[in-house]
Amino acid sequence: MTPIEMLTQRISTALLCEPAPDITELDQILSAGMKVPDHGNLQPWHFTVVTNKGLQRLSDVFVKAVCNNIDQTLSKTSLSINAEQQARLTKTAKMPFRAPLIIIVSTKFIEHKKVPKQEQLITAGCCVHAMQMAAFSLGYGAIWRTGDLAYNSDVKQSLELDANDEIVGFLYVGSPVKEQNNKLGITFKNKVTYWK
C-alpha cells in the first residue's frame, strides 16, 4: 500500500480483537502521534495507554462516573435504579473491552500568547488521527471514540487531568474482527470551492 492509498483508503474499525500491536508497533504508533503539526512546539497533549488489567481499571472508572450521574438523578427523585439505568451501567462496563488496546489522548494546555487553546486542542486531535493512521498502516484496525464519558469530570479526575484540560478521544486499536468495506462513493466534490 502506498502512502496515498493508505490516506485515501483508511476506515474506522469498530469490531476489534486480539492481537493488539506489540511494544515495537505501539512505539511506532505513539511516535506518529508526536509528529503532528504543533504551533510553537508546545506538545500540549498526553497519551494514556490502556491494556490488559488497565481495561478493567478503565471500566471501573467509567462505571463509577455513570453511577455518580445516576446517584445525582436519584437523589432528586428518591427513586431506585430502573431497568434503563441498569442497562446503561452494564453497557458502560463493557465499553473498554471493545479492543485490546486503548490510547486515551488528552490535552495539556499551556498558556501561550501566540497559541490559543483552540489550536492546542486541534493539534491534540491531530495526534489521534496520526496514531489511527499509523495503526492502519501496520495492518491494525482502529476507531476514534468520544461520547459522554470523554466530557465527564469524574473520568477526567481519574486520569489526573487538570480541570481545564480535555479528553480529545479514546483510540481503540486491535485486529479487525472481519474485513470491512471501504467507504466507496464518498467524494470531496460537494465539499470544495475553487477560487481561480
Report which of residues 72 and 98 the model is more confident about: 98
Residue 68 domain-assigned (yes or no):
no
> Is the pLDDT score of 75 beyond 60?
no
pLDDT at residue number 10: 87
Is 144 domain-assigned?
yes
Decide if 165 contacts 108 (C-beta within 8 A).
Answer: yes
72 located within any domain: no
Q: Which domain holds residue 103?
A: 12-55+94-177
Tens of pLDDT, residues 7-48: 888 889 999 999 999 999 999 999 999 999 999 999 999 999
Global pTM value: 0.92
- For residue 155, tell me if it sits in a domain: yes
CATH number of domain containing 29? 3.40.109.10
The neighbour count for residue 109, using CB atoms within 10 Å, is 19
pLDDT at 132: 97
Q: What is the pLDDT of residues 99-158, one digit of tens each?
A: 999 999 999 999 999 999 999 999 999 999 999 999 999 999 999 999 999 999 999 999
Q: State the total domains in the chain.
A: 1
Residue 195 lies in a domain: no
Assigned domain for 43 exists: yes
Phi-psi region at 28: left, alpha or beta (left = phi > 0; alpha = psi -120 to 50): alpha
pLDDT of 69: 81
Angle (nearest 5°) at CA 67 between 61 and 70? 150
> Is 77 inside a domain boundary?
no
Whether residue 17 lies inside any domain: the answer is yes
Q: What is the pLDDT of residue 86?
A: 86
Residue 185 has pLDDT above 80, yes or no: no
